[in-house]
Structure 1
Amino acid sequence: MKQEGRINNFALYFLIAAFSGSLVIAQVLASKIVMWKGIVFPAGVIAYCITFVATDVISEIWGKSVAKQVVWAGFGAVIVSLFLIQGAVLMPAAPFWGKDSAFSSIMVSTPRIILASLIAYLVSQTHDVWAFHFWKRVCKGKYLWVRNNFSTAISQLIDTTLFIGIAFGGQVPILSLIGGQLLIKLGIALLDTPVVYLFVWVLRRNDLGFHET
């Protein structure tokens, strides 16, 4: 039972680490706007989409309460990253390092992006956990693909609209950014369904996530 408990904890901790790591790095990557096949979106969108995979798997295996705790833990991780980033910007650069202005020019824009992300994150992730379990009740525990896609699609719409509007409003054409980011996110949401199924299948097949240490 002790070995099972350790495996159980590792599976959950791995998903929490993937969630938090993807969430934090998405804030930094979002400061770069990229274009792919004519679609414009922040570079952090792919990293951020990983968080929805993690919360859906955690919701399915460990339940709504644990998923909500992970969402709040991620919120704390972003707050910590904000202070660390600002601390790095304020620290004096070494005389021989000539890239301080470039570093600061990118990182100075990060607080607004992080503020936008915090608001969009809390609203969208809270909705995602709620919607996932709402559809789970409606489907009587069946059709994982339904609750995975339905909860994620609306949550991504909420997140995209809030994030782009707050982070880039008044700076760039936000409608094209919202459309581009939403298109990419919905595409990833459809592609991540097999990944969610795989994680859930592996955890259930090996009876992980259900033992207490």
Structure 2
Amino acid sequence: MDKSETPAAPPLQGTGTPVRFRYYDIVMAAFVAILLLSNIIGAAKLSTVAGFTFGAGILFFPVSYVIGDVLTEVYGYARARRVIWVGFGAMVFMAFMSWAVVAMPPAATWDGQDAYEQVFGLVPRIVLASIIAFWAGEFVNSYVMARMKIWTEGKALWSRTIGSTIVGQGVDSAIFYPVAFLGIWETRDVLIVMVSNWLLKVLWEAVLTPVTYLVVGKLKQAEGVEIFDTSTDFSPFASEKRTG
């Protein structure tokens, strides 16, 4: 992509010099794609492996939190906030389309409606739960990440990624599983999966820490920025100030 087509970025903190982000849109697209796929493919399936019960979406949903950490660390809270709202809008649209497609009367020659409803019939409820949990969890995750970057003076990235995930994923899991599955799964299963998935997500974050370090390092070098949110408005509803 030509640099002239990339969005203008906020100035580097303390310099007043505007910069342009080359890879921000790519990171945003990856974030939204993983977010939608995790809700369509894996969220409704309950799996048990070696006596351990978990939601199948655990395989890739935590990657969205890793990307959220990368966004906040490299591009700052304001840009991460924009991505969270884009993901929110995409999930709302997906929920509507899922409902509309399932509700459409099937052709007389098509015998897949029952299977289609079984697979996608829960999607609106799951996405409703995801919208609430995602919105709260991602903003908490990004806030903690940005604040900890200031507290640590940009050092110990691992402490920020893991610390923000513990809090953000805790909020996400505490909202998502009861709203999505109470009354569908046994209450005991909801609680087991809620806690086990939270632990697994935090473990995933820890395991992926070397990857996070690599991606963050490469992006910071490519973008030429080091952003600290010392004067950022952390309200989820604040408008982004564009410069340059």
TM-score (norm: length of structure 2)? 0.79
* Paired amino acid for 1:145: W
| Structure 1 counterpart of 2:213 | 197
Question: Which moves more between the two structures, 106-115 or 7-16?
Answer: 7-16
In the alignment, which residue of structure 2 is the partner of 1:14? Answer: 26
| Structure 1: segments with no counterpart, 5+ residues | none
The residue aligned with 1:32 is 45
Cα RMSD, aligned residues only:
2.2
More helix by share: 1
**SS class of match (1:171):** coil
Kept in 1, the 8 Å contact 2:137–2:171? The answer is yes
Contact 2:132/2:175 (<8 A) preserved: yes
* Counterpart residue identity of residue 104, structure 1: E
Aligned AA (1:17): A
**Pair 1:11–1:142, CA change in 2 (3 A):** same
The answer on whether the counterparts of 2:39 and 2:57 sit within 8 Å (CA) in structure 1 is: yes
- Structure 2: tracts of 5 or more residues without a match: 8-19, 227-242
* Map of 2:14 onto structure 1: none
Which position in structure 2 is the counterpart of 1:59?
72
Local SS of the residue matching 1:95: coil
Are the counterparts in 1 of residues 96 and 124 from structure 2 also a CA contact under 8 Å?
no
CA–CA distance in structure 2, aligned partners of residues 174 and 13 of structure 1: 36
Q: 1:127 aligns with which of 140, 147, 150?
A: 140
Q: Provide, for residues 3-27 of structure 1, a one-character-per-residue CA deviation record: whole Å limited to 9, x for no partner.
A: 4875965521121111111111111
State the partner residue of 1:100. 113
TM-score by length of 1: 0.90
Residue pair 1:59, 1:66 contacting (<8 A) in 2 also: yes
Residue 194 (structure 2) pairs with residue 178 (structure 1): yes
Q: Tell me, in whole angstroms, the C-alpha distance in 1 between the residues paired with 2:161 and 2:132.
A: 22
1:80 deviation in Å? 0.5
How far off its partner does 1:36 sit? 2.4
1:21-68 CA-to-partner distances (Å, cap 9, x unmatched) read 111111122111112232222222233211111111111111110001
